[in-house]
Amino acid sequence: MTTAASRPVAVALLASVFVVAACGLVYELAAGALASYVLGDSVLQFSTIIGTYLFAMGVGSWLSRYFERQLPAHFLRIELLVALVGGALPAVLFIANAWTPDAFRLLLYGLVLLVGTLVGLEIPLVMRILKRDVALKDLVSQVLTFDYLGALAVSVAFPLLLVPQLGLVRTGLLFGFMNAAVALWALWLFRHELRRFGAHALACGLTLAVLATGFVGADRITTLAEDRFYQDRAVFSEQTPYQRIVVTHGRAGHRLYLNGNLQFAEHDEYRYHEALVHPAMAAHGAPRKVAVLGGGDGMAVREILKYPTVEQVTLVELDPAMTRLFRDHEALAALNGHALRSPKVTVVNTDAFRWLEDTREIFDVVVVDFPDPTNFSIGKLYTNSFYAMLDRHLAASGYAVVQSTSPLLARQSFWTVVQTIESVGLQTAPYHAHVPSFGEWGFVLAGRRPWRLPAQLPEGLRFLDVAGVAPLFDFPRDMARVPAEVNRLSNQVLVNLYEDEWGKARP
């Protein structure tokens, strides 16, 4: 047996450390992203995924002591296992969420434990192989340097390049392919040491073929899972740096989902958007400047443009893919009456929190139509800090309206939003409307003057009329006000409260 005590082998193995570190972190990030999509609360999910993964890596490092002979052969086999399990992880979880949602959490953490253990075995084995021709003091520093560099590279590329361009499924398979390529490289480097070279070569070839096939068929895998999960056929899907956008179409028309959560259904979205917009707009009397924060689908803008006094609408939407989709896709643009093409509308693609900090504009009406506070990045948009900035951009006679989740299914969360808005000195008028796709849904009107019942509404509304506005502000006993805390930026009680209430409400 010859020992590969050459400088080229050492360099090749150190390069492999870079790839191995990058691949391992991709699998960890993919698991965390999918967990936050499906289970909510991104901070909790990423924290538990990272903790589980690091624990499993520790287990793998401890187990490496039992690998004593044929280290290159063990390293090659482990790389192939990591390639298959890690590379397939996003696809498997997507399918599991669609077909066996009850098993998703168990499968998620089982795969994280398995991949983490295998990744934990890799570096100790590489170090022991390198020990044959690299001094210990240089060995540790070199291996850790390449390990950290690989982690840095992929931590930047994952959210900015990989997921937006490839999606989670293809990203996982691509890095699985890279793990398999490392195994193939090890097969060549240590060809003189491997006892069953033919079997190892066949295993490498089969693994690469499986991953390549999965990569080519990734769209089919995603479509199969999403069609099953959403019931209706997915007619559009895109993974952006901010969220996964899916539009489906069935008997009831189009539906929009963000990260798996329904945002609107075509057959009844008018009830939601009329209730959101018109109590504030009509009560103002003659609004000229209006801002919409969130609401990138343009439905709220459609309702606002029904007022002839409106001269300017500023739509602030974080994700440019949303506003582009609902401006350029003919079927979807038709739903908002091509509102995003109106010369009165200015689209600003940025974070609403930052935009309020920077802008000096004052508005007659501000419509706040963010997704529910399922995680802390959205939860900051429901804090007293956000509402204090909102107050500074309201005209003295202006109104803001905030969508505020269900006062029936998330009663405490709804009144927490009310309490938080009132904590900055604004007067509130909470109300609710029934939207069949969502159930009983809540809104909060806010301003420096009391809200007044509008004398008239625009013509052509399908849900609201003047007589029907006042009953929206009456709350039955099971939705009546309860004591609530203020949701602060430093302590976002609303996110955990929301997750707890909706967790109990889900069947």
Supply the residues annotated as catalytic.
Answer: 369
Nearest to 40, CA basis, from 449, 468, 477, 505 = 505
Query: Half-sphere exposure of 423 toward its Cβ, with a 13 Å CA cutoff?
Result: 17
Nearest to 98, CA basis, from 273, 300, 246, 294 = 246
Q: Report the interhelical angle of 218-230 vs 163-189 (nearest 10°).
A: 130
Rounded to 5 degrees, φ, ψ at 318 are -60, -45
Rg (CA), the chain: 27
Q: Which residues, 6+ apart, have CB-to-CB distance to 212 below 8 Å?
A: 177
Task: Say if residue 361 is exposed, middle or buried (CB neighbours under 10 Å; 0-12, 13-18, 19+).
Answer: exposed
Q: Which residues, 6+ apart, have CB-to-CB distance to 477 below 8 Å?
A: none
Cα–Cα separations (whole angstroms), residue 405 to 314, 385, 417:
24, 19, 9
Whether 415 and 484 have beta carbons less than 8 Å apart is answered as yes
Distance, CA of 444 to CA of 416 (rounded, Å): 11
